[in-house]
Amino acid sequence: MLDPAEDFENPVTRQTSLTTEQPDGPEEGPPSVVNGKTLMQFVRLRPTKETNGERLLRLEMSCGLTSENLEQFTEDIRQAYQMLSNNPKTLKGIDLANVEAQTVKIYEASDDDSPALEAAGIKPQRVSVTVVEETGSTAARDVIRLAMSLPVPQTPKAGAWALRMHGELVWVEMYDTQAGLGLK
């Protein structure tokens, strides 16, 4: 029988423990709000053609909702967050059907002065606020996640930007269109 210490220059040792050292405290990531812009994942692009012939780009966005970024969203989304955070064991998700029209500005970096994409009167669709289990290098934990689809008019500039940026983190600024026009 071979002896690893005597018969090899670099003896092989067997790992006897599968535990790994965990860092203290939560993982540090980028801030979720900077300069009034919320960090969101641009999940995917879905080009569509409406029955009236209008071509739209549906930008599917997602982000974790926290007390830090909650004020950046509509009252409907804030209420859904409160209901889920008060009942995480019984409620797993809320779909919102009638979110008010928003003016949306999307930036590639938090310190950009001009948006890469901007659209007014956008009515977010497929808005969902859900409790999901987030896993990573630390223990699994429940988080409240917002997902929505933003239908923006299809233009060459919007199409080129969406093709280049889908799957990336972007900074989004949203505000009520009517309030911005002084109608509310």
How far apart CA 156 and CA 179 sit, in angstroms, is 29
- The Cβ of residue 85 has, within 10 Å, a number of other Cβ atoms equal to 15
How far apart CA 101 and CA 178 sit, in angstroms, is 8
Is the CB of residue 38 less than 8 Å from the CB of residue 110? no
**Average pLDDT, whole number, for the chain?**
81
Range 90-104 average pLDDT: 89
What global pTM score does this model have? 0.74
Reply yes or no on whether the pLDDT at 1 is more than 70. Answer: no
**Tokens 């223990």 — which residue?**
139
pLDDT digit string, tens, across residues 24-73: 444 455 678 888 888 999 999 999 998 898 999 999 999 988 888 888 88
